[in-house]
Each structure stands twice: as C-alpha cells, then as structure tokens.
Chain A
Amino acid sequence: MLIFSVFKTLTDQRVTVELKNDLSITGVLKSVDQFLNIRLDNIKVLDEARHPHMMAVKNCFIRGSVVRYVQLPAENVDTQLLEDATRREAVSQAKR
C-alpha cells in the first residue's frame, strides 16, 4: 500500500517508466492501481526509431509487472515522510 500511496501523490507529474524490455516512456502519470499498473498521458518514447509501433500512441496503460524502474521528480518526493511511513509499515507488517 505504501508505494501505491506514493504514486497516488505523484499524479499529474511527469515521470519516466523504464520497462523490462528496455523501452523507456516519459509521460504524465494519470493513474495507478494497487498492482502498480500505470496510466501515462502525453507520452514520449525514448529512442523512438527503435519502437516504430509506438509512433501513433499518445496515452498508454502499462502493466505493473513489466516495469523495471520509474524515475520520479525528486522535488515532489518527501523523503523524510517516506522513511517514517516505511518504518511504520514495517512494524505493522511484523505484527501480522
């Protein structure tokens, strides 16, 4: 739930999603779900020439399981808050 919550706070920010098949897509994060499936609007594909099938695509839905990384805007991430929330989540996980 923690990472899901982090992504929810980043909606409408521009992020770069790198997939496991080495495709990198920059776009505005429009939505995310509990599986960390991602919806991006207004996308730009890095190295477009290698991925011609993406040329006419402006918005996309990316299955969470194929994501390797998501590059986040550092200025919109409160690292202190994150660390505190992680510690709390770790404690509640252990109690289960």
Chain B
Amino acid sequence: MDSLIPFTTSGSLVDCVDRKMLVVLRDGRKLQGVLRSYDQFANLVLEDTVERIYHQDVFAEMKRGLYLIRGENVVLLGEIDLDQEDDVPLRQVDWETLEPYHLKEIADKKQRDELKASILFEKRGFCKEGGEGDGY
C-alpha cells in the first residue's frame, strides 16, 4: 500500500521547511522568507521576511522580519528556485520610489471593479455581492 503521507497537508509542506519561499496573500501582498514552521491550517512562520512590490519590469523590497501568517490568508506558497532567481529580468529600485505607482495600480483596479459591479447591476440586475469566497 503506498504511503499516504503525501496526501496530508503536513506531507506536502515538510520539504519546504528551512527553504526560501514565496507567499502570496489574499490581499495581493507578495512575501518572501524562510519557512520555519507550518500546521494543518497552513498557518506559517516565515523568517527574514521581505515584502516585494512590482510594477512593469521593476520591483522594490522592504524588510519585514519575523511573521506568523494565519493560514486563511494564504493563496499559495512557492518554492523559490535559487538558480532561476538570478535570471529574472527585473530591475530593483527603492521602495519609496516605486510605492506610489504600486498604490495607484491598486486604487485603479479597485475603481475599475466598482464600476464594473455597478454597470452589471444596472444592465443585468446583478447584485453587488461580496465576491467569490471572501472576495479579494
């Protein structure tokens, strides 16, 4: 009988411990850090965490330290391939420089989504629901 270990959350994540991981959160944030611990809810402990923001072909980083992340906010965990990381064709800039562009992108998207919801409401009678799942 094949081992059932891969079919548990613990089994899936055990070889990610002590590795540099990308964590994407439901609010759209992208964090990178070393995964130190997890549990069956995908609650995570991430050490030396860095938050990254992206805009076109440019990115910026901000050190955030030690995080305990509640599992319900996690979208995905990615294993960062340290070789491929050097090949990524993006330029790094200061956080203060990039942040306004990043915030504007978020605000624009929010405005587009609100406009879309109100048009669908007017034209098709679609209710302004909270969104899928918990909406993010």
Q: Tell me which of A33, A58, A62 contacts B79 (CB under 8 A).
A: A58
**Chain B 49-85 against A: per-residue CB contact (8 Å), 1 yes, 0 no?**
0001010010100000000000110111111111011
Smallest distance from the beta carbon of A2 to chain B beta carbons, Å? 14
Task: Name the contact of A60 in the complex, choosing from B9, B76, B82, B88 (C-beta under 8 A).
Answer: B76
Interface string of A14-31 (1 = CB under 8 A from B): 000001110000000011
Do A37 and B80 form a contact, CB below 8 Å, given A21-B75, A56-B85?
no
Q: How far is the CA of A35 from the CA of B72 in the complex (A)?
A: 12
Seen from chain B, the residues whose Cβ lies within 8 Å of a Cβ on chain A are: 6-9, 11-13, 16, 22, 24, 26, 28, 30, 42, 52, 54, 57, 59, 71-72, 74-82, 84-85, 87-88, 90, 132-133, 136
Identify the 4 closest CB pairs spanning chains A and B, nearest first: A57-B78, A31-B6, A56-B85, A60-B78
Q: Assuming the A-B contacts A33-B7, A52-B90, are A20 and B78 also in contact, with contact meaning beta carbons closer than 8 angstroms in the complex?
A: no
Main secondary structure of the interface of A (DSSP, over half): mixed
A20 — which chain B residues lie within 8 A by C-beta? Answer: 132-133, 136
A55 at the interface (CB under 8 A from B): yes
Chain B residues near A11 (CB-CB < 8 A): 6
- With A21-B75, A61-B76, A63-B71 known as contacts, the answer to whether A56 contacts B133 (CB < 8 A) is no
The contact sample of 21 A-B pairs, CB cut-off 8 A, is A11-B6, A19-B75, A21-B75, A30-B12, A31-B6, A34-B7, A37-B9, A52-B57, A52-B90, A55-B88, A55-B90, A57-B22, A58-B81, A58-B84, A59-B78, A59-B79, A60-B76, A61-B13, A61-B76, A62-B76, A63-B71
**Chain A residue nearest to B72 in the complex (CB):** A65
Q: A21-B28, A53-B30, A58-B84 known; 9 other A-B pairs, CB under 8 Å?
A: A8-B7, A19-B75, A53-B22, A53-B54, A55-B90, A57-B22, A57-B78, A60-B79, A63-B71
A 31-55 contacts with B by CB, 8 A: 31-35, 37, 39, 52-55
B71 — which chain A residues lie within 8 A by C-beta?
63
Min CB–CB distance A91 → chain B (angstroms): 25
